[in-house]
Structure 1
Amino acid sequence: MILPPRLIPLLDQFDFACERLLARLSGPAMDSGNGVEIGVTPLGDDEHLWEPVPDCWSVRRRGDAPGARATVLAGAGAWGRDAAESPHPFPPPFTTIAWRLSHLAEMLTLRADHTSGGRTLTRDGYRTPGDAAGAVAAFGTASAAWREALLTADDTALDTIGYSTYPNGSDAEDPFVDIVWWVNQEVLHHGAEIALLRDLYRARPT
């Protein structure tokens, strides 16, 4: 299928954001932004779960209590992500790299399924990895699944409200092209936050 011209820059932006984030997490090098490659140490388990301030939201073992102001460990499996029913706590809790990666991977996985898959996956069934390597791999798999879903969209789909039936966003009210834009900004802004947390972890007092 020939991609709609207005989808091409959005797809390019998504690819750029994902490739940059994966390079920042996995190494061995990444583009500094001006064409110069800098070395990158792969994300480790301690850094993945590092809580730079008190009362962070994170990913925790299922047998542990949720973090401060969280009411549940969302998902299935041995690990869950701190969460709370609406209205969410305010001000929002500070979140770890683990929480942010889990949020991105879950969102991309479910949105892909509710766009071009079986449209059955739920947050309650999503399995969050507890280790850094698993979390990075999960993001890579999820971003590839969403990219494949985008390749099914023609011009009619981009204008269709509810083309994605993802139940945890505004998909039922917005044209699909708006959802595509929204997913891009999620990856861009959480990717930037994760990059900053990596910088802070590297520069932390020891």
Structure 2
Amino acid sequence: MADHDPITRDVLRTFEDVRSRTFARLEGLTDAEYLWQPVPDCMTIRRTDEGVYRADSRLPKGPDGASDDAPAPVTTIAWRMWHIGSDCLRGYLSFFEDVPALGDPFEWPGTADRGVLAMEEDWARFITRVEALGDERLMQPMGPRAEEYADASYLALALHALDEVAHHGGELGLLRDLYLREGA
């Protein structure tokens, strides 16, 4: 990234601040914490008959955008990590050109160590794409590949992704805090 791209630089610095806080909160994550369900019927990742783990899909939304009158389901750390890594950051790669298919978006590692690694890889792929844009392209519309978001800029996409990772990264920390205090 050239020094003359201050917007890209500042966006990437903020992503790095969020990344470092989020991954610091995941240090020492155990498999028990990763799959811990703080309440019954959490959304999580589940082992299939084929031996792979898959994230529970979100509830279908009604015409008003809500799934129903019930509160949103509680999730496990594993599901939240899948959401940050695969659902958001990896999913947003489809808005960029020349991105290879990265497999089943609902498949996710069944262990904490591999989940952290997968989220790191998805984060790095997304950041690399944003960095390669530079300020001029960052400010331009994403175009037809973004379908209903065609007129939105790559900056809008990066800021949306930043909101997602900061919000859900904070939830990861809270879930860890609750797990550590569950037996207290």
TM range (shorter): 0.7 to 0.9
Contact 2:55 2:82 (C-alpha < 8 Å) held by counterparts: yes
* Number of the residue aligned with 1:111: 92
Residue deviations 1:179-205 (CA, integer Å, cap 9, x gap): 111111111110100001101100112
Provide runs of 4+ in structure 1 moved above 6 Å. none
Residue deviations 1:4-55 (CA, integer Å, cap 9, x gap): 21222211110111111111112xxxxxxxxxxxxxxx10111001010122
TM-superposed deviation, 1:156? 3.0
Structure 1 spans left out of the alignment, 5+ residues: 27-41, 65-76
TM-superposed deviation, 1:108? 1.4
Residue deviations 1:56-93 (CA, integer Å, cap 9, x gap): 100001239xxxxxxxxxxxx71111114631634211
Contact 1:114 1:120 (C-alpha < 8 Å) held by counterparts: no
Correspondent of 2:52 among 66, 78, 84: 78
If asked which structure has higher relative contact order (CA below 8 Å, sep 6+), I would say 2
**Greater helix proportion:** 2
CA-based RMSD of the aligned residues comes to 2.5
* Number of the residue aligned with 1:2: 2
* Number of the residue aligned with 1:57: 43
TM-superposed deviation, 1:163? 5.5
CA distance in 2, matches of 1:47, 1:92: 21
* Number of the residue aligned with 2:109: 129
* Number of the residue aligned with 1:190: 168
CA distance in 2, matches of 1:19, 1:60: 28
Structure 2 spans left out of the alignment, 5+ residues: none
* Number of the residue aligned with 1:38: none
Correspondence 1:35-184 to 2 at 5 A: 42-63=28-49, 78-84=52-58, 86-87=60-61, 89-90=67-68, 91-106=71-86, 107-112=88-93, 114-118=95-99, 120-121=101-102, 124-125=104-105, 127-162=107-142, 165=145, 171-184=149-162
Among all aligned residue pairs of Structure 1 and Structure 2, give the percentage whose two residues are the same amino acid: 31
CA distance in 1, matches of 2:114, 2:154: 30
TM-superposed deviation, 1:171? 4.1
* Number of the residue aligned with 1:24: 25
